[in-house]
Amino acid sequence: MTSRIAAINFTCRNHERSLTFWSNVLDFVPDPVNPNEPGDEVSVLIHPTAPIEFLMQPADGTFEPRVHLDLIPTDRTRDEEVERLLGLGSNIVADRRKADGSGWVTMADPDGYSFCVERSEAEKQPTSES
């Protein structure tokens, strides 16, 4: 396996209402490290035992129901994974990589379904500079 799902993102008309709905449907709970507060830009639910999140985010502009996956490479860097996925037939929709190495890439599969590729866990670790 080269990637794992980090989060399933729902674009919502009302992300707080969707949070309540999916919490009840799936028995997911608020993240104790990042609890959902009224007025937050997004709402996050986690599964009590599985390492996956549901992220509820408001629609910007005209609402179109949409779900996409956030992927984290498990055995390569984000940029290597982007190249691999391009080779498999996906394309880049939005490149949100930053000069400091952070950020992500939004891609589309051959049918046009979008997903994001984040940095690997190793890339997120602080580097020790002497």
- Asked if the structure places residue 101 within a domain, the reply is yes
* Ramachandran quadrant class, 49 (left: phi over 0; alpha: psi -120 to 50; beta: rest): alpha
- Asked if the structure places residue 55 within a domain, the reply is yes
Q: Tokens at residue 11, please?
A: 């674009």
| Averaged pLDDT for residues 46-72 | 78
Q: How many domains does the chain have?
A: 1
Quote the pLDDT of residue 91. Answer: 93
Going by the DSSP 8-state scheme, the letter that residue 96 receives in this structure is -
- Asked if the structure places residue 110 within a domain, the reply is yes
Quote the pLDDT of residue 130. Answer: 45
CATH of the domain at 13: 3.10.180.10
- Asked if the structure places residue 130 within a domain, the reply is no
Q: Is the pLDDT of residue 57 over 60?
A: yes
Quote the pLDDT of residue 128. Answer: 66
Residue span of the structural domain in which 116 resides? 3-124
Pairing of strands 53-58, 3-12: parallel
What is the per-residue pLDDT across 83-124, written as a single tens digit (0 to 9) for each?
989 998 899 999 999 999 999 999 988 877 788 999 998 998
Q: Is the pLDDT of residue 126 over 70?
A: yes
Count of CB atoms situated within 10 Å of the CB of 68? 20
What is the per-residue pLDDT across 1-28, written as a single tens digit (0 to 9) for each?
578 888 888 887 787 888 887 888 777 8
Quote the pLDDT of residue 16. Answer: 81
- Asked if the structure places residue 43 within a domain, the reply is yes
- Asked if the structure places residue 31 within a domain, the reply is yes
- Asked if the structure places residue 61 within a domain, the reply is yes
- Asked if the structure places residue 129 within a domain, the reply is no
